[in-house]
Amino acid sequence: MSELLHGIFIDVEVADSVAGDAELAKKLAEVCPVDIFAAGDAGVRIIRENLDECVLCNLCVDAAKAAGAEGGVRIVKLYES
Ligand code: SF4
């Protein structure tokens, strides 16, 4: 197989209310150590090719919580641990 598949192990779910929040988007882009979030004027964008770099640090989940959007960002493991 020559094609690279991204997001095989990890998926990040961002609630609609969070996805359109430009301020929180900036925060998410800032806290994630592996650049899974990109902030734009329209809110947050997930950089899919970085998904499997996620180190499960929960900084994004905590940032959403601190911004009053608890549960707005979820890290989903796509494998059994
Ligand atoms: S858990 Fe950590 S590494 Fe994974 S997406 Fe959130 S901030 Fe990034």
- Closest residue to atom 3 of ligand 1, CA basis: 54
pTM (predicted TM-score): 0.89
Judge whether residue 30 has pLDDT over 80.
yes
Range of the domain at 69: 10-77
Q: Collapsing DSSP states into helix, strand and coil, what is residue 70? A: coil
- Evaluate: CB of 44 within 6 angstroms of ligand 1: no
How many distinct structural domains can be found in the chain?
1
Mean pLDDT of 24-51: 95
DSSP run (H or E) holding 22: helix 22-31
**DSSP string across 38-50:** EEETTEEEE-GGG
Q: Considering the domain boundaries, does residue 38 fall inside one?
A: yes
The CATH number of the domain holding residue 28 is 3.30.70.20
Q: Considering the domain boundaries, does residue 58 fall inside one?
A: yes
Give the number of the atom of ligand 1 that is nearest the alpha carbon of residue 28.
Answer: 7
**pLDDT at 27 (0 to 100):** 97
Positive or negative, the Cα torsion across 48, 67, 15, 26?
negative
**pLDDT at 20 (0 to 100):** 94
Q: Considering the domain boundaries, does residue 60 fall inside one?
A: yes
- Evaluate: CB of 76 within 6 angstroms of ligand 1: no
Mean pLDDT of 28-38: 97
- Evaluate: CB of 12 within 6 angstroms of ligand 1: yes
